[in-house]
Amino acid sequence: MKNIKISTYFICFLCANLFYSTLYADQYEEMSFAELECRIIHTEEHLNSIGRANSVMLIENIIDISTKFNTQQEYYLKGYSYNLLGKIHFLNKEYKKALKEYKIAELFIKELEGDSELIIDVNNNIALVYLEGFNKPARALKRIKHIHENYKNLNNDYKHSLELNLANIY
């Protein structure tokens, strides 16, 4: 009897999650670029409360829908989304998946004009994967040096983050 209750709760949980993601998929079709960007930011800020599976589904919906915008907006949404997918995998210590998502994000972001903060964030995340996930400090250092050389006008938060990563390498 106890197993039946647990199974029933589990099925209800799965159905609720499926409904939740389907509901938002339909709503995303009607959202503007700014609203989708806010949704990504909200997902990033509330990652623990939304849950990993729901977060991944929400982000994948945004990736699918982003094709309706102009090229710059599409690449920005996809780059931001893949970066967040990488963060989700990194938090779950799935380093190969995280690196794959970060590399995809990097491809989209390289096509953008002038969004250096997102480029810096992705490169910093790749450096963290190399350092913590694969124990390859030379590759991590190469990424961080690339950021320092190419983005001289960093704000203080990014400078502090990069300095911490450099300290971890040495």
Note whether 141 and 73 are same-domain residues: no
In-domain check, residue 109? no
User: What gap in Å lies between CA 125 and CA 15, rounded to an integer?
Assistant: 34
pLDDT by residue for the chain (170 residues), tens digit each?
Answer: 555 555 555 554 544 454 444 445 677 788 888 888 888 888 888 877 777 888 888 899 889 999 899 989 999 999 999 999 999 999 999 999 999 999 999 999 888 876 677 888 888 889 889 888 888 888 888 888 877 777 665 555 555 665 665 566 55
* Domain housing 14: 1-101
Collapsing DSSP to helix, strand or coil, 78 comes out as: helix
- Total domain count for the chain? 2
User: What gap in Å lies between CA 111 and CA 59, rounded to an integer?
Assistant: 20
User: What gap in Å lies between CA 21 and CA 170, rounded to an integer?
Assistant: 43
Cβ neighbours for 143, distance < 8 A, ≥ 6 positions apart: 123, 124, 126, 127, 130
